[in-house]
Amino acid sequence: MPELPEVETTRLGLMPLVNQTVAKVVIRNASLRWPIPADLPSLLSGRTLKSLTRRAKYILAHFDDGVLLLHLGMSGRICLLAEDEPPQKHDHFDVRFTNGQVLRLRDPRRFGAVLWAGKDPQQHMLLSALGPEPLDDAFNGQYLHQQLRSRSVAIKIAIMDSHLVVGVGNIYASESLFRAGIHPQKSAKALTRAQCERLVAEIKSTLKDALAAGGSSLRDFFGTDGNPGYFQQQYFVYGRANDKGGEPCRVCSAPIKMIRQGQRSTFYCENCLSQKTIRSSK
């Protein structure tokens, strides 16, 4: 699933559409995770796109009288194309602009979303209960330590909870915990204030590094221009082990370990943790 760096990379790739006017909206298949509203063509036609922002893993397209909410789901991507580019099998939704460009949602598994959020998107059901952005000042060691005091779940599960902090998915949770020298199975409430400070710093650092690399392209993610991200080339642990064994750790050369947590694969280096080796932020 695309995580925060991939969604932000997509948002930045769509910026040429700001201040452009919608010529036409095409709905080819409305049956996504939530049905695409049938009145979107009439709502958006003739409207000017004022700005593009992001909240968690959602892209918010701001128009004069409301906000269009976009989500990539498990395997979706948003393409920025020329208007004469023919649609492919899984191209479900277009916003065509008068400058000849098209915003197109391509989503083979149809877990994405195209929804109208009205004039106050922060009150929308998908956004109203979200935690702070990980790169904002509100997400700090004091906040994390306070929030974890009553949570007995494993720390990796905790930081993937969007009510605690948004945008830290499976990839970046594993990478951040490795950099911070914290075992992914450690009880969240057992973290000290110093560990919370270090983990927050590494979450921010990991996400910034991923943003600089254009996100991660594993199976489905490509930017709006069709180019992949490159952060997967910098992974310390994620995806570097399977049931048959692990690749050598880039810090200590011991094999990377894989376990299952919350139906997701978790990757870590047992030797680095036992030696209290910490991959510091840049």
Number of residues that make up the chain: 282
- Catalytic: 247? no
Contacts (Cβ under 8 Å, ≥6 apart) of 89: none
Contact 93, 114 (CB under 8 A): yes
Among 124, 128, 204, smallest CA distance to 172 is for 204
Identify whether 270 is a catalytic site residue.
no
193 is catalytic: no
Beta bridge partner(s), residue 137: none
Instruction: Find the catalytic residue in 2, 5, 134, 184.
Output: 2
Note the Cα 139 to chain centre separation in Å.
17
In whole angstroms, give the CA distance from residue 73 to residue 71.
6
Q: Which of 11, 54, 55, 57 is catalytic?
A: 57
**Number of Cβ within a 10 Å radius of residue 277:** 14
The Cα 114–Cα 59 span in angstroms is: 10
CA angle 165, 93, 207 (to 5 degrees): 25
Q: Please tell me which residue in 3, 6, 175, 202 is annotated as part of the active site.
A: 3
CA distance 171 to 174: 6
* Residue among 72, 80, 76, 71 nearest 106 (CA): 76
Out of 110, 250, 264, 270, the active site residue is 264
How far apart are alpha carbons 272 and 277 in whole angstroms?
A: 5
Q: Is 57 considered catalytic here?
A: yes
Cα gap 132→122, rounded to integer Å? 12
Nearest to residue 146, comparing CAs of 125, 136, 132, 135? Answer: 132
Please list the residues that pair with 78 across neighbouring strands: 105
Q: Would you name the residues annotated as active-site residues?
A: 2-3, 57, 264
